[in-house]
């Protein structure tokens, strides 16, 4: 059955992947609600924005009046809440935006959704879902352990970013427990893929290498992350939003644990193969690798146990790290016009520094 799905943060990296998937592979109607901060880029949606099933509203999730208007106007069956400030380095330098968007914004959206849900008829009320998209960083650091994050892992956030996301997760679960709002929560591992904003580790390393710039890696590069191809994540999110059990949490991971140094070396190897004639001033792309002072409170290992979403909903990632990384590097090599507009400021971008996932 076709549904109307409201996606907050739909012009961002993961949100735009969700919307592209919904328009290209389902019959659902999409309402993209995005404030268009620095990380929101409507050019990531040019493949689908001409569809009659796609609608865009430039709205801040902290603006209750505008959120209520959008809900009343479009009458969504599902809210997929992805809007968030998400860069750890930025949260360390300036936590206030993270508190406002991730905590106050989620509260504002939950309150509006609760009121909207209470006005629906019995059938539509039973079908309604509020899907909150979060991160594995809320669980903290697995350093010194071979364990994996499960849906029962206690929260232990380390950065202002992860603390703000943990807070929003707790709010969503409280609105389910206290008010009965039909919510779902997903916690994902590190995403990568096309249309990734170039302040993040993988796109920054690709673009710095192509420009002959240093490839700065925090500390010794031994930090371990589980890497999830963004289009796999988009499929998983739609699966949870449409088929997940109300009140449940689902961890979504790529089964690809890699150190940051391994990730950067894999990028260099792919560029040697795919762009060997573009090197600037070095014999090998890996010659550009440099190590910089680690950031405060840096978690050393994240790893997701994604067995629940597999057993309960039948989702598994389609891409391995090798296939997904090859697709990612190839995409950046063939879409220079997209990332150059971000880098040179003609979009909304800024000159970028050290990358971190």
**What is d(CA 314, CA 336) in angstroms, rounded to the nearest whole number?**
36
pLDDT at site 348 = 61
Q: Which two tokens stand for residue 310?
A: 């597999």
250's enclosing H/E stretch is: strand 249-252
- Report which of 65, 356, 78, 47 is spatially closest to residue 217, judged by C-alpha positions: 356
Q: What is the pLDDT along the chain (357 residues), one digit of tens a residue?
A: 899 999 999 999 999 999 999 999 999 999 999 999 988 999 999 999 999 999 999 999 999 999 999 999 999 999 999 999 988 889 999 999 999 999 999 999 999 999 999 999 999 999 999 999 999 999 999 988 899 999 999 999 999 999 999 999 999 999 999 999 999 999 999 999 999 998 899 999 999 999 999 999 999 999 999 999 999 999 999 999 999 999 999 999 999 999 999 999 999 999 999 999 999 989 999 999 999 999 888 999 999 999 999 999 999 999 999 999 999 999 999 999 999 998 876 776 443 444 455
Where in the chain are the domains?
4-197+227-255+302-319
What is each CA distance from 252 to 32, 88, 172, in whole angstroms?
A: 23, 20, 18
CATH number of 4-197+227-255+302-319, picked from 3.40.50.12280, 3.40.1350.10, 3.40.50.720, 1.20.1090.10 = 3.40.50.720
Query: Catalytic residue positions?
Result: 136-137, 161
The whole model's pTM is what?
Answer: 0.95
Number of CB atoms found within 10 A of residue 37's CB: 15
């Amino acid at each position: 059955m076709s549904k109307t799905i409201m996606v907050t943060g739909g012009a961002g990296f993961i949100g735009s992947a969700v919307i592209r998937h919904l328009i290209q592979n389902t019959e659902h109607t999409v309402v993209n609600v995005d404030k268009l901060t620095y990380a929101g880029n409507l050019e990531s949606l040019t493949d689908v924005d001409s569809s009659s099933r796609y609608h865009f509203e430039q709205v801040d999730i902290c603006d209750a009046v505008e959120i209520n208007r959008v809900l009343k106007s479009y009458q969504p069956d599902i809210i997929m809440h992805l809007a968030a400030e998400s860069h750890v380095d930025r949260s360390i330098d300036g936590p206030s935006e993270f508190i406002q968007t991730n905590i106050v914004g989620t509260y504002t959206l939950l309150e509006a959704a609760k009121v909207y849900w209470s006005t629906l008829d019995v059938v539509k009320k039973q079908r309604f879902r509020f899907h909150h998209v979060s991160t594995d960083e809320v669980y903290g650091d697995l350093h010194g352990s071979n364990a994996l994050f499960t849906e029962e892992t206690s929260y232990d956030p380390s950065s202002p970013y992860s603390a703000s996301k943990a807070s929003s997760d707790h709010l969503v679960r409280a609105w389910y427990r206290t008010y009965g709002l039909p919510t779902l929560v997903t916690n994902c591992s590190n995403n990568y893929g096309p249309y990734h904003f170039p302040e993040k580790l993988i796109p920054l390393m690709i673009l710095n290498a192509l420009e002959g710039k240093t490839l700065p890696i925090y500390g010794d590069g031994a930090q371990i992350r589980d890497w999830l191809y963004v289009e796999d994540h988009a499929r998983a999110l739609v699966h949870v939003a449409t088929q997940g059990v109300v009140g449940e949490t689902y961890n979504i991971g790529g089964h690809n644990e890699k150190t940051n140094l391994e990730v950067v070396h894999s990028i260099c190897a792919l560029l040697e193969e795919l762009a060997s004639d573009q090197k600037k001033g070095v014999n090998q792309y890996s010659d550009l690798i440099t190590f910089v002072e680690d950031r405060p409170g840096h978690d050393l290992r994240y790893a997701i146990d994604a067995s629940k979403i597999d057993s309960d909903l039948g989702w598994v990632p389609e891409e391995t790290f090798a296939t997904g990384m090859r697709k990612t590097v190839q995409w950046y090599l063939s879409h220079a016009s997209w990332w150059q507009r971000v880098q040179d400021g003609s979009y909304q971008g800024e000159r970028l520094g050290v990358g971190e996932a």
